[in-house]
Amino acid sequence: MTDTVRVRFAPSPTGYLHVGGARTALFNWLFARRHKGVFILRIEDTDTQRSSEAMVQGILEGMHWLGLEHDEGPFFQSSFVEQHRATARRLVEEGKAYFDFTPKEATDDRTVKEKIADRFRARAEAGGDRNPYRDLPLEEAFARVEAGEPAAIRLKVPEEGSARFDDMVYGPQERDYSDIEDLVLIRSDGHPLYNLSVVVDDINMGITDVIRGQDHLTNTHKQVLLYEAMGVPVPRFAHLPLIIAPGKEKLSKRRHGEVVSVTTYRDRGFVPDAFVNFLALLGWSPGSDQEILSREELIEKFDLAGVNKAAAVFNFNESVQRDWTDPKALWFNSEYIKSMALDELVPMVSEQLKRAGLWREEYAGERSEWLARAVDLLRARYRTLVEFSEFGRPYFSDEFEYEPAAVQKNLKDERLRELLPGLADRLSSVGQFSHDAAEAALRGYAEERGVKAGLLINAARTAMTGQSVGPGLFDIMVILGRERTAERLRRAAGLVASNP
RNA sequence: GCCGCUAUGGUGUAAGUGGUUAACACGCCGCCCUCUCAAGGCGGAGAGUACGGGUUCGAGUCCCGUUAGCGGUACCA
């Protein structure tokens, strides 16, 4: 037990990195870091039909964005197929596996479930006899293979007794051998299959702890059988509860699309640490009330004993635009945005401004301090980075839209047509253009003209940002500066509604 | 069909070896603050622990059954 912990994340590149995969990767990474072990990335690309290079890139990108850097790899399973074949062949020679000459059945993946049911029924009618090739003499079997007859290789599962292993999350697991079919190790076309490949690779990579989704729980018995057949020690296993869709439906890439893809969260303005924090608490708890946990705290507190057994609902809501994903994920993000170190936030916002075409070179130079102030002013009211370039646009550009509802609400009083330019003049004359000076000037002007300060304040906010909501007006004025303030106030006079 | 896993407010989770009115967070509602919206502060509604049986002085915690959801059962991964 003093051996170095070695874990791996082994996605198959048949799709983008989704939240379930990301959570599995995260837990492996946390476990490795917690135990000062090694985190390995292995791409299981043996399904050549469905795997693609683009998906490999997508997975790598997603992991990099999440900050889950691997210590070894990426290894590609496809480069180990010779070894997989050799292992299977050796098992045949040792009498632990056998050649099956039964002609391959055509499979169409769309109807597998029905096929399985059909097969079960047929088997029950036939009396459930076992494979006739199971006990074919070795010489005869090899002779037929030499002669070119296609054969799959299957593992000989014991006829009586049961397989068992102890799962670090789900506890002791037992399954009758009679419920396990002699699994195919190598297809008749020579292609190694999943259960064989993982086991061989995990052995080669010295994996000590296999941490993966619960969808592999029952198949683990087959893998344990394989370890035993090869005469090597069985690693520890930990299965993670699955992440499911609202309504406790299963998560489907097809149906739920990009809302479950990690890159969507990157593109829609999530802070990586916030998303990691959210993911960590989906199926795991530190056992305390603490919700906000830094990466370091996560590593320090991570423990498989705190992993929950029930599937966790990822509560996204595709139908509501501003609440497109799990509200708690959004809350974590806004929490990070408003309380993380400003000098970490500013580069993220800068990146967003670049993407939106709002970046100016001065922000990196003489205006860097101004940028930090602007970000600090806005951060408490935004939930994603993207909002800095959307709702935040008027702060970074002179070209922005006036929201009709805001204009309607705050620029409808006809007196404003004249008051706004008047206010601009008044503000131009204040000495130091500060928050307090601007406020004094505005309030004084309002009193002189016999209008409520609120009228001017709300009108000015809409005049300056096109919006009816936002930071305190005088903060807005200071951040935009005297010239822009005056200019926007004058410009907006033209928007004041003419007589209703 | 068969095998397995799971089941605490709408969601994520707490409640060491069974022991007072089931806790926290998100979300929701209200109040305060206030030039608006957030943020922040304060308060509230919302579960009697899927259902039904047991065991026990006592069960969210143990046992059995039912139901539901999910997973597996492939010459997919």
- The ipTM value here is 0.95
% of chain A beyond a pLDDT of 70: 97
CA of A186 to C1' of B57 (A): 62
Q: Name the DSSP class of A245.
A: B
Q: Which nucleotide is nearest to A196 (CA to C1')?
A: B77
pLDDT digits (tens, 9 = 90+) for A458-481: 999 999 999 999 999 999 999 999
> Within 10 A of A177 (CB to CB), how many other CB atoms are there?
14
- Closest by CA to A350, choosing from A170, A342, A153, is A342
Q: Side chain identity at A261, as an amino acid letter?
A: S
Give dist(CA A422, CA A449) in Å, integer: 10
Element (H, E) at A43: strand A38-43
* CB distance A144 to A99 below 8 Å: yes
What is the nearest nucleotide to A169, using C1' and CA?
A: B5
In chain A, % of residues over pLDDT 90 = 83
What is the distance in angstroms measured between the alpha-carbon CA of A31 and the sugar C1' of B31?
45
DSSP string covering A80-124, please? GHHHHHHHHHHHHHTTSEEEE-SPPPP--GGGHHHHHHHHHHHHH
At A46 the three-state DSSP class reads coil
Which nucleotide has its C1' atom closest to residue A121's CA? B1
Residue A121: predicted pLDDT: 72
Assess whether pLDDT exceeds 70 at residue A110: no
Query: Rg (Cα) of chain A, in Å, rounded?
Result: 32
Residues A120, A271: Cα–Cα separation, whole Å: 49
* Amino acid at site A494: G
pLDDT bracket for residue A499 (50, 70, 90): very low
Phi and psi at A131, nearest 5°, equal -60, 125
DSSP annotation string for A416-471: HHHHHHHHHHHHHT-SS--HHHHHHHHHHHHHHHT--HHHHHHHHHHHHHS-S--S
Region class of A249: left (phi > 0), else alpha (psi between -120 and 50), else beta: beta
Residues in chain A: 500
- Give the pLDDT confidence of A257-295 residue by residue, as tens digits: 889 999 999 999 999 999 999 999 999 999 999 999 999
pLDDT at A130: 77
Q: What confidence tier does A250 reach under pLDDT thresholds 50, 70, 90? A: confident
Among the residue ranges A42-51, A126-135, A159-168, A326-335, the one predicted with the least confidence is A126-135
How many other CB atoms sit within 10 Å of the CB of residue A18?
A: 25
B23 C1' closest Cα residue = A289
Per-residue pLDDT, A126: 65
Residue A413 pLDDT greater than 50, yes or no = yes
User: Could you tell me the distance in Å between the CA of residue A168 and the C1' of nucleotide B46?
Assistant: 35
Quote the CA–CA distance of A395 and A478 in Å, as a whole number: 11
Q: How far is the CA of A423 from the C1' of B21 (A)?
A: 60
For residue A398, give the nearest of A483, A281, A292, A337 by alpha carbon: A483
| Confidence at A10, pLDDT banded by 50, 70, 90 | very high
Once rounded to an integer, what is the mean pLDDT over residues A365-371?
Answer: 96
Identify the DSSP state of A212. Answer: E
Residue A263 tokens, joined:
């890159």
Q: Are A425 and A489 in contact (CB under 8 A)?
A: no
CA-to-CA dists, residue A485 to A41, A375, A424, A465, angstroms: 54, 18, 7, 10
Q: Is A58 helix (H, G, I), strand (E, B) or coil?
A: helix
Q: Which of A55, A29, A33 is nearest to A44 (CA)?
A: A55
Chain B nucleotides close to protein (CB under 7 A) are 1-8, 10-15, 23-27, 35-40, 69-77
Q: Quick one: pLDDT band at residue A50, thresholds 50, 70, 90?
A: confident
Average pLDDT in the A374-390 region?
A: 97
Q: pLDDT, tens digit, for every residue of A160-208?
A: 899 999 999 999 999 999 999 999 999 999 999 999 999 999 999 999 9
In which band, very low, low, confident or very high, does the pLDDT at A107 lie, cut at 50, 70 and 90? Answer: low
Do A186 and A196 touch, CB atoms closer than 8 A?
Answer: yes
* Nearest nucleotide relative to A439: CA against C1': B35
What is d(CA A120, CA A64) in angstroms, rounded to the nearest whole number?
44
Residue nearest to nucleotide B37 (CA to C1'): A469
SS3 A145: helix
Q: What share of chain A is helix, strand, coil (3-state, %, to 5)?
A: 50, 10, 35
Mean of all residue pLDDT scores within chain A? 93
Q: What is the pLDDT of residue A108?
A: 64
Please report the pLDDT score of residue A363 as a whole number.
97
Report how far residue A400's alpha carbon sits from residue A279's, in angstroms, rounded to the nearest whole number. Answer: 36
Report whether A260 contacts A316 (CB < 8 A). yes
Q: At what angle do helices A138-146 and A81-93 cross, to 10 degrees?
A: 140
* Predicted local distance difference test score (pLDDT) of residue A337: 98
Buried b (16+ CB within 10 A) or exposed e, A437-447: bbbebbeebbe
Look up the protein residue whose alpha carbon has the minimum distance to the C1' of B26.
A328
Average pLDDT over every residue of A423-429: 93
- Above 90 in pLDDT, residue A2? no
CA to C1' distance (Å), from A223 to B55: 39
Q: What pLDDT, in 10s, does the model give residues A300-340?
A: 999 999 999 999 999 998 777 788 999 999 999 999 999 99
Structure token digits, residue A16: 């983008």
Arithmetic mean of pLDDT, A390-415:
94
Q: How far is the CA of A310 from the C1' of B5 (A)?
A: 9
**Minimum CA–C1' distance nucleotide for A197:** B77
pLDDT exceeds cutoff 60 at A1: no
Residue type, A245: A
Q: In what order do the strands lie in the sheet with A152-155?
A: A97-100, A152-155, A184-186
Tell me what pLDDT residue A113 has: 75
Catalytic residue among A113, A115, A222, A253: A253
> In the annotation, is A36 catalytic?
no
The β-bridge relationship of strands A97-100 and A72-76 is unpaired
